Amino acid sequence: MSHSLPFNSTPVHGLFTPLPPEQKTDDTPGFWAILQGFSLVVAAGSELTRLPEGPLPTGIVPETEPLKIGIWQGKPLRAVRIAPDAVLPEGVEALPFQGADTRLDAAGATIAGRAAQILHWERRSRFCSCCGAELRRITGSWGKCCTACGDEHFPHIHPCIIVLVRRGKELLLIRNAAWNPGRFSLVAGFLDFGESLEECVQREVREEAGIEITSIRYVGSQCWPFPSQQMIGFLADYAGGEVKPDGVEVVEAEWFGDDALPLSPGSKRSISRWIINTFGAR
Ligand SMILES: [Zn+2]
């Protein structure tokens, strides 16, 4: 099931309990989710993710105030961000939770993603987008309220569709202009104004690959904290037209036999890989 994918809640079930931000400072020692770019700082050399515990490791200089985001293995978990070029002290290492490197286990990647998504929202919600005044926290929520005009702001989570289109034993894969040659994945895109999810799927396939589809059905979803998307996965069947990439966003669009897929379509932790593995072959 898609809910066991990294970055959803299932991989940290029993390990992590989310909490709304606290109103008062809590000094109880606990664990740290220390982020450096899209990497998580963990005890060096451990097979399963071991988050630093107790005082912040000597030599770690946070750029953000420690923010309690929940309870990890029975103790408070605080998230901080450090500079991308900060040199790490001995005993810890930074492991990527985005990309092809999968040394970090699913629980570690998931908690890093949660911390990253929250810290991103905190950084982007300091001032009111209506009037520019400072925002304050709404008690018991990640939402904010404007101190001047009273406008309320809640975390921005952007819905994106991702779709596997099949034609018999063939799958439609595309290459985005920003990707290296040889890297392919599924058609995907952001929901637009005035669209149902199915209409969005239809439009994205038409725009990126130039074809028409039918039998659009939902298969699963994934939180994608880069920085804050919700990926909503679909299957669809080919209905007509010649495949033609738009040449701008998408530079290649092709049918691949399910036994002749290009190397590693989609990132290992992503719903795109999961959809291809689960629904790719007939
Ligand atoms: Zn305002």
* pTM for the full predicted model: 0.93
State the distance from the centre of ligand 1 to the C-alpha of 135, rounded, in angstroms. 8
More confident residue, 83 or 259: 83
pLDDT digits (tens, 9 = 90+) for 179-205: 888 889 999 999 999 999 999 999 999
Rounded distance between C-alpha atoms, residue 9 and residue 223, angstroms: 9
State the distance from the centre of ligand 1 to the C-alpha of 133, rounded, in angstroms. 5
**Span 131-142, mean pLDDT?**
96
CA 67 to chain centre: 20
Rounded distance between C-alpha atoms, residue 124 and residue 235, angstroms: 34
Number of H-type helices and E-type strands within the chain: 3, 15
User: What's the pLDDT at 100?
Assistant: 82
**Span 230-240, mean pLDDT?**
98
State the distance from the centre of ligand 1 to the C-alpha of 137, rounded, in angstroms. 13
User: What's the pLDDT at 26?
Assistant: 80
Burial of 201 (0-12, 13-18, 19+ CB in 10 A): buried
State the distance from the centre of ligand 1 to the C-alpha of 154, rounded, in angstroms. 13
Rounded distance between C-alpha atoms, residue 273 and residue 24, angstroms: 42
Average pLDDT taken over every residue of the chain: 94
**Span 112-123, mean pLDDT?**
97
Rounded distance between C-alpha atoms, residue 152 and residue 80, angstroms: 25
**Span 108-127, mean pLDDT?**
97
95 pLDDT higher than 90? yes
Q: Which of 13, 90, 14 is nearest to 52 (CA)?
A: 90
List of residues 6+ apart from 78 with CB closer than 8 A: 30, 31, 32, 33, 66, 67, 68, 69
User: What's the pLDDT at 282?
Assistant: 67
State the distance from the centre of ligand 1 to the C-alpha of 117, rounded, in angstroms. 23
User: What's the pLDDT at 261?
Assistant: 86
List the strands of the sheet with 144-146, edge to edge. 135-137, 144-146, 152-153
User: Can you name the CATH fold of 2-124?
Assistant: Nucleoside Triphosphate Pyrophosphohydrolase (3.90.79)
More confident residue, 17 or 181: 17
State the distance from the centre of ligand 1 to the C-alpha of 131, rounded, in angstroms. 4
256 pLDDT higher than 90? yes
Q: What CATH architecture is 158-279? A: Alpha-Beta Complex (3.90)
pLDDT digits (tens, 9 = 90+) for 57-66: 999 999 999 9
User: What's the pLDDT at 265?
Assistant: 65
Q: Can you tell me which residue has the tokens 């000094």?
A: 27
Rounded distance between C-alpha atoms, residue 129 and residue 155, angstroms: 13
State the distance from the centre of ligand 1 to the C-alpha of 146, rounded, in angstroms. 5
Q: Which of 79, 86, 113, 91 is nearest to 9 (CA)?
A: 113
Ion ligand 1 nearby residues (CB, 5 A): 128, 130-131, 133, 146, 148-149, 151
Domain positions in the chain are 2-124, 125-155, 158-279
- The verdict on whether omega for the bond into residue 66 sits within 30 degrees of 0, i.e. cis, is no
**Span 4-8, mean pLDDT?**
96
State the distance from the centre of ligand 1 to the C-alpha of 125, rounded, in angstroms. 11
pLDDT digits (tens, 9 = 90+) for 155-180: 999 999 999 999 999 999 999 999 88
Query: 2-124 and 158-279: same fold?
Result: yes
State the distance from the centre of ligand 1 to the C-alpha of 191, rounded, in angstroms. 27
pLDDT above 70 covers a percentage of the chain that reads 98
pLDDT digits (tens, 9 = 90+) for 236-246: 999 999 999 98
State the distance from the centre of ligand 1 to the C-alpha of 112, rounded, in angstroms. 31
State the distance from the centre of ligand 1 to the C-alpha of 227, rounded, in angstroms. 24
Rounded distance between C-alpha atoms, residue 257 and residue 49, angstroms: 38
State the distance from the centre of ligand 1 to the C-alpha of 136, rounded, in angstroms. 11
State the distance from the centre of ligand 1 to the C-alpha of 161, rounded, in angstroms. 32
State the distance from the centre of ligand 1 to the C-alpha of 150, rounded, in angstroms. 6
pLDDT confidence band for 260 (50 / 70 / 90) = confident
Instruction: For residue 229, give the H/E element and its range.
Output: strand 229-240
